[in-house]
């Protein structure tokens, strides 16, 4: 048995370790504080710079014709009449230009103009379009600069050997002077020589997509956007970090001093408490456990441990050990019961999964007697059962209803809500020929009895088979993708309505798509673009379009198989986070496949 002196010896050793630890931590903290401060500033700056770059790039790519715009701005910097700080009130030049553009082209939505549409504009209207978007864009970039309080934020075009920069746009504070003098903000079209450090930073950014160059109290950050006509487009920014570094270093030194003092005080208190409240009672518990190990007499051990009366966790520990022998027997019985219950739940979930799978259309081709179209769909739940669903059915001989939806949440609750939603949509769709009216009626029906406040996003289309005219409405769902004959898939940015089940009394907007023989329609749930790899990168819309256009003319089943293969190759061994549902329609026209061929 260990003597009382031995326990004091342990306390002495622990006290010595406490003191050595406190001193070591203090010295290490003092020596490394400068490095830690720099690292914190650099990491925070790089994270913020990455966010700023993403927002700026999104602001640029918000306009589908941004590539045409960049080329136009680069080619006509001196010909443009630009307002660099647009005030969102009537009467500005930009407002007048916008109204003029709408009068000339009432059928075009300026913000969603594509490259081809912009290129088709008359020269005067193309210039008008470039001036309006530039004024809108620079106003948004100014807002980003002010929100993040960055010293300089700009976009440049450059090319090897990267010794010059063509300024596409530069953010500025309100009422800042734009020019080429010292402390003035560069306007569009200014070309400047760059330093060697900036030159290397741009080269690294083009190689690695982004790069942070540390130059003492200043840092330069560049993000690569893309290459157009041999020119690399980069987002750049500059931070002055001198004040931040001094502040962090001062706070780190003060915190280190206070922490060391408190650690000394805390060590003394902890050592005293450990001995009085922990070590002495634990010694008795240790003796009892060792005796049990030798005698296996649980009755004697339980009697001895009952004498430990500490009014803290040690007392609870002694009582826990007293109850352990009896609880072991109870535990074995519970394990057997839990195992049986788990097997029952697993069997029920497997049955629920089969029932849900059989509820969805799963026989392909679903309409073998109809050769005007082909359709294929899949649904892979993240758990045993899921909340995604698809559906398609003939409303009459000439109208095909297409539905894809995503219920909020996962698992059994989402699956039950999915069944209700699917039934209601199917029932209502047979009464209306308008997708917007169907969604409105479905929303009213679901909102009447939705105490759990769940909701579902829905894309609904009704195809007139004889003409290829597709009427559709979108209730908060993902954008569909369409391929014209002999073309590539493209994203259809339809107008979203609010989700189904969240608020009653809503109306939904309807739009039309004209399908030609050879057209392909692809719809999906958010589990596809949000599929995530082990590095937390999402699959994204761009990869969806790229995968579709690898074999754009394939049949629907092959298109979905290729898409699933691309997703699996992207996510690798990462766990599936959300339900993944896809549906593809191939339209062959009223003459059918033979007529198309």
pLDDT, tens digit (0-9, with 9 covering 90-100), for 479-522? 999 999 989 999 999 989 999 998 999 999 999 999 999 999 99
Q: Rounded mean pLDDT of 219-241? A: 88
Angle, helices 280-295 vs 313-359, to 10°: value is 70
Q: Which residues are paired to 475 by β-bridges?
A: 458, 497
Tell me the three state secondary structure of residue 580. strand
18 within 8 A of 245, measured Cβ to Cβ: no
Instruction: Give the pLDDT band of residue 21 (cuts 50, 70, 90).
Output: confident
pLDDT band at 566; cut points 50, 70, 90: very high
Residue 84: pLDDT band (50, 70, 90) is confident
Burial of 282 (0-12, 13-18, 19+ CB in 10 A): middle
More confidently predicted of 190 and 356: 190
Mean pLDDT of 100-114: 91
Contact between residue 549 and residue 488 where contact means Cβ atoms under 8 Å apart: yes
pLDDT at 6 over 80: no
Q: What percent of the chain lies above the pLDDT cut of 70?
A: 77
Is pLDDT of 594 > 70?
no
Band of pLDDT at residue 239, cut at 50, 70 and 90: confident
What share of the chain in percent tops pLDDT 90? 46
Cα 323 → chain centroid: 49
By the 8 A CB rule, do 421 and 389 touch? yes
**What's the mean pLDDT when you consider all of the chain?**
83
Burial 47-67 (b: 16+ CB within 10 A, else e): ebbeebbebbbebbeebbbbb
Read off the pLDDT of each residue in 100-106 and give the average, rounded to a whole number: 92
């Amino acid at each position: 048995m260990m003597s009382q002196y031995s326990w004091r010896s342990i306390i002495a050793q622990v006290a010595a370790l406490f003191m050595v630890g406190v001193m070591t931590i203090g010295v290490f903290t003092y020596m490394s504080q400068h490095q830690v401060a720099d690292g914190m500033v650099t990491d925070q700056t790089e994270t913020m710079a990455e966010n700023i770059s993403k927002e700026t790039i999104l602001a640029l790519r918000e306009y589908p014709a941004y590539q045409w715009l960049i080329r136009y701005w680069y080619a006509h910097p001196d010909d443009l009449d630009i307002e660099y700080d647009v005030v969102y009130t009537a009467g500005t030049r930009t407002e007048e230009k916008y109204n003029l553009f709408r009068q000339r082209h009432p059928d075009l939505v300026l913000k969603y103009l594509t490259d081809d549409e912009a290129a088709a504009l008359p020269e005067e209207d193309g210039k008008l379009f470039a001036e309006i978007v530039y004024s809108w864009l620079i106003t948004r970039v100014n807002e980003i600069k002010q929100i993040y309080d960055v010293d300089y934020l700009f976009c440049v075009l450059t090319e090897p050997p990267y010794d010059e920069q063509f300024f596409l746009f530069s953010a500025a504070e309100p009422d800042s002077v734009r020019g080429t003098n010292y402390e003035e903000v560069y306007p569009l079209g200014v070309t400047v020589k760059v330093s060697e450090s900036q030159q290397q930073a741009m080269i690294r950014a083009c190689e690695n997509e982004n790069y942070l160059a540390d130059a003492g109290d200043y840092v330069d950050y560049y993000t690569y956007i893309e290459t157009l006509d041999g020119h690399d487009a980069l987002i750049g920014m500059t931070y002055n970090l001198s004040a931040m570094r001094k502040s962090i270093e001062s706070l780190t030194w003060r915190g280190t001093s206070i922490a060391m003092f408190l650690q000394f005080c805390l060590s003394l208190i902890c050592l005293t408490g450990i001995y009085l409240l922990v070590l002495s009672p634990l010694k008795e518990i240790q003796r009892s456990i060792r005796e049990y190990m030798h005698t296996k007499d649980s009755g004697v051990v339980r009697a001895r441990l009952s004498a430990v009366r500490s009014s803290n966790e040690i007392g609870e520990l002694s009582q826990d050990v007293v109850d352990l022998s009896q609880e072991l027997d109870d535990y074995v019985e519970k394990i057997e019961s839990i195992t049986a219950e788990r097997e029952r739940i697993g069997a029920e979930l497997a049955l629920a999964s089969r029932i849900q799978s059989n509820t969805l259309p799963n026989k392909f081709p679903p309409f073998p007697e109809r050769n005007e179209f082909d359709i294929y769909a899949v649904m892979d739940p993240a758990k045993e059962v899921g909340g995604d669903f698809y559906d398609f059915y003939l409303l009459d001989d000439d109208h095909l209803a297409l539905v894809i939806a995503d219920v909020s949440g996962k698992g059994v609750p989402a699956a039950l809500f999915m069944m209700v939603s699917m039934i209601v949509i199917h029932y209502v769709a047979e009464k209306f020929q308008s997708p917007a009216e169907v969604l409105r009626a479905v929303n009213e029906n679901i909102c009447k009895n939705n105490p759990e406040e769940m909701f579902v996003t829905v894309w609904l289309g009704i195809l007139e088979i004889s003409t290829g005219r597709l009427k559709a409405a979108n209730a908060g769902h993902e954008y569909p993708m369409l391929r014209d004959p002999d073309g590539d898939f493209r994203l259809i940015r339809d107008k979203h309505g609010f989700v189904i089940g969240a608020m009653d009394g809503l109306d939904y907007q309807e739009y039309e798509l004209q399908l030609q023989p050879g057209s392909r329609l692809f719809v999906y749930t958010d589990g596809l673009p949000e599929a995530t790899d082990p590095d937390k990168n999402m699959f994204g819309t761009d990869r969806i379009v790229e995968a579709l256009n690898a074999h754009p003319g394939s049949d629907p089943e092959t298109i979905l198989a290729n898409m699933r293969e691309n997703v699996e190759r992207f996510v690798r061994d990462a766990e599936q986070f959300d339900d993944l549902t896809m549906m593809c329609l191939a339209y062959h026209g009223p003459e059918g496949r033979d007529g198309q061929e």
